[in-house]
Amino acid sequence: MNGRKFSAKREEILKQLQSTKTHPGAYWVYEQLKSRIPDLSLGTVYRNLNVFCKEGKILSLGVVKGEERFDGISSPHPHFICSCCGTILDLPMKKAKTLFRGGFCTKNSFLIDFRKTVFYGLCGNCRENSNKDSGVLPLEMTGRKRCVKCETPVFTDVINFLS
C-alpha cells in the first residue's frame, strides 16, 4: 500500500536529467520535455526529482543562485561551481587532486577560490528518534550500504575520494 507505480513521465524526467552534463535545475528539465510532452506540468517535475533524490537515483547539488541543481549521476564525485555564473562542472579526480595540492588556478582554466566539504548524515538525536519511532530511517538515508557495526545505512565511498 505504499508502492511506486510506473509512470511514463517519471521515466522521461529521469532520462532527460541523465542526458545532460549541465547539472540543471527543475525548470530546465521541464522546458526540455515540454515540447515532446505538452501536458507535462512543472509540479510533476519537482515531485519526481524529489522522488529520485530520496531513492538515490540522482544527486542534489544544493541551491546555486537560488535554484536547486541536480546531477543525473548519483555516484558521488567532485564538482566545480562557478560562483560568478553558476556553471557546474564534473571535476575529474585527477584535476581535483591537483587543485587540492596546488591551491592556485590552473592556466586557461577555471580559478578555484575556495571549496566546501560537507558531511551529511544523521546527528545523534535524529538517529535515535528514527530508530525509536518506526524503525524507518528518513527517506534520504535509504538505499545505501549499511554500517558494519550497527547496520545503519551508510555511504562508504568516502574512503575512495582523495584518501
Partner DNA sequence: ATAAGTGCAAATACTTTGCAAAGAC
Partner DNA sequence: GTCTTTGCAAAGTATTTGCACTTAT
CB-based contact 70:62 (threshold 8 Å): no
Spacing of C-alpha 31 from chain mean position: 20
Using CA atoms, how far apart are residues 92 and 122, in angstroms rounded to an integer?
29
Of 60-68, 91-99, 125-133, 145-153, the segment contacting DNA by CB under 7 A is 60-68
What are 70's strand-pairing partners? Answer: 60
> If binding is defined by CB under 7 A, does position 23 make contact with DNA?
no
Q: Any idea of the CA torsion for 46, 139, 155, 103, to the nearest 10 degrees? A: 40
> If binding is defined by CB under 7 A, does position 102 make contact with DNA?
no
Interface residue with DNA, options 14, 17, 40, 141 (CB under 7 A): 40
The SS3 call for residue 25 is strand
Q: Which is nearer to its own copies, 5 or 149 (CB)?
A: 149
In the block, cell 558494519 appears at 148
Shortest Å, Cβ 68 to its own copies: 8
CB-based contact 50:3 (threshold 8 Å): no
Residues between 84 and 123 with contacts to its own copies, criterion CB under 8 A: 84-85, 87, 89, 91, 96, 99-105, 107-123
Size of the chain in residues: 163
Residues between 22 and 81 with contacts to its own copies, criterion CB under 8 A: 61-63, 76, 78-81
Interface residue with DNA, options 22, 31, 61, 68 (CB under 7 A): 68
Backbone angles phi and psi of 53, in degrees to 5: -60, -45
Residues that bind its own copies (CB under 8 A): 61-63, 76, 78-85, 87, 89, 91, 96, 99-105, 107-127, 129-130, 138, 140-141, 144, 147-150, 152-159, 161-163
